[in-house]
Amino acid sequence: MRFREIFSGDPVNAGRQLELDFGKAIPVLCLPFVHCFIECTSPEGLDHGIPFLFDYVIGSPISAPMFMFCMGVGIAYTKKNSASALAKRAGKLFLIGLLLNVFRYLVPYLAGYGITGDAEKYLEPLVYRVFGNDILQFASLCLFCIALFIKLKVPDSLMLLTSFGASLIGWGCSDIDLKNSAANLILGHLIGTEDSAGLVVSDFPLLNWMIVPVAGYVFGKLLLRVRDKDAFYSRIFAVPLVLSASFLILEYFAGIGMNRPGGENTYYHATTYDVLAFIALTVGLLGVYHFICKHLPPKIGKFLIGVSRGITSIYCIHWVFVTWITNVLLYVIRGTQELPVWQTLLLSLAILVVSLILSQLWRKFKKGKTKNEKA
C-alpha cells in the first residue's frame, strides 16, 4: 500500500485512540515520582541514578510534550471544537490552574510560615508561585490561540508556520530578566523570564511551546483520515523516534539545548530545535504505543482510558499532596525535605494511589451531579 493510499478523503478513524490514552496515562502515573524526586533530592542527586531517570528522562522530553501534543490531537477529535467552545474551555482551565496554585502554594506556604516563621522559604517566592506560569496556564493560553486560528479559518500550514515563528521568537527572548517583578511575572506567560534570585516561575511559556499542541492538532486531523493505523504507524514511527532520541542523547553530552548552562529553566525555556525533537519523539512513541496497545488485556486498556480521562484531576490532586508533604510536613518535622531514594519511591507510590482513588471519586461525583441536573 502506497503511503497516500493509507488516507481517506473523509474522517474514517473516529472514536477513542488507545495509543493516545496510553501516551497520556504513562506520564501521569509517573508524575508523583517525577515531582517527589525534584522536591526531595538535592540538585547534585538529580544528576544520576533513579532521580535522573524520573527528572531528566521521563519528566522532560517524554511527559509534558506528550500531554501538549495529545491535547492538540484531542481538539481535532472532539465534537466541541468550535472557537467559542475552545475559548470557554480555555477560561475554565486557567481558573483551575489558579485554584490549584492556591491549594498547592498559597495555603501550604502560609501554613508553613505560620509554623516556622521561615520567610525566605515560604513568603519570598509566594507571589511568583501563585501567579506564575505553569502547564495549565500554558494549555489555557494555547487553547485561546487555537480557538482564534479556528475562528479566523487559518490553514493548517499557516498555523504551523505561525507557531514555528513564535518558537523562534520565544527562543530568542528566553532567560530574559526585565528588571521588574510584575513584568517578569506577566510576560513570563509568553516568554521565558527569570531573575537573579531565581524566584520567577515562567514554566512552559506560550511562544516557546505553542508549536507542540498545534502540531498535535494537525496530526489529529490527519489521524482522523487514516484507513489502516498499522500501516500508518509502521511507516512513520521509527525514523523520528531514532533520530530524536539520538539527538537528545547527543545534546545531553554536548551540554546544549535543554542541557545548556543556566539551571532548571533551560528545559522550560525550550529552544526551537528542542521542541521539534520533542514532537518527533512524541510521534515515534505514539507509534510504539499503538503496537503495544494491540496486545494489552482489555482490563489494562480500560484502566489507561480511566487515567487518561482523569488527567487534570490527577495532576491537581497529586500536586497538592506533594507540596503539603514535602514543603510543609517534612520540612517542619525534619528541617529538610530531602529523602533517600527508597523513601522517595514509597512516598511517590502512596501519593499516586491516593490521587487515583480521589480522582475516581471526583469523576463519580461529577457524573452523579450531571445526572441529577438533567433529571
Closest by CA position to 241, among listed 179, 283, 302: 283
Q: State the total domains in the chain.
A: 1
Band of pLDDT at residue 21, cut at 50, 70 and 90: very high
For 295-334, write each residue's pLDDT tens digit: 999 999 999 999 999 999 999 999 999 999 999 999 999 9
Are 304 and 22 in contact by the 8 Å Cβ rule? The answer is yes
What's the pLDDT score for residue 303? 96
Closest by CA position to 266, among listed 205, 206, 214, 210: 205
Q: Is pLDDT at 154 greater than 90 in this prediction? A: yes
Are 213 and 64 in contact by the 8 Å Cβ rule? The answer is no
Cα separation values, 110 from 104, 120, 327, 337, Å:
11, 12, 11, 17
Q: Is pLDDT at 105 greater than 80 in this prediction? A: yes
What's the pLDDT score for residue 371? 64
Q: Which stretches of 102-201 are DSSP H helices?
A: 107-116, 119-122, 126-131, 135-151, 156-172, 181-187
Q: Is pLDDT at 223 greater than 70 in this prediction? A: yes
CA distance 264 to 233: 34
Measure the N-to-C terminal CA separation of the chain; round to a whole number of Å: 51
Are 269 and 175 in contact by the 8 Å Cβ rule? The answer is yes
C-alpha cell at 42: 538535592
> What is the mean predicted confidence (pLDDT) over 171-191?
94
What's the pLDDT score for residue 4? 86
Q: Is pLDDT at 375 greater than 60 in this prediction? A: no
> What is the mean predicted confidence (pLDDT) over 256-280?
89
Band of pLDDT at residue 101, cut at 50, 70 and 90: very high
Q: What burial letters (b/e) apply to 88-126, b meaning 16+ CB within 10 Å?
A: ebbeebbebbeebbeebbbebbeebbeeeeeeeebeebb
The residue type at 93: L
Cα separation values, 257 from 36, 165, 247, 264, Å:
25, 18, 10, 12
CA distance 54 to 67: 16
Q: What is the DSSP letter of 262?
A: S
- Give the CA count within 13 Å in the CB-facing half-sphere of 230: 2
% of the chain beyond a pLDDT of 70: 97
CA distance 330 to 25: 29
CA distance 158 to 173: 22
Domain limits for position 351:
3-374
Q: What is the DSSP letter of 124?
A: T
CA distance 134 to 64: 11
What's the pLDDT score for residue 372? 62
Q: What is the DSSP letter of 226?
A: B
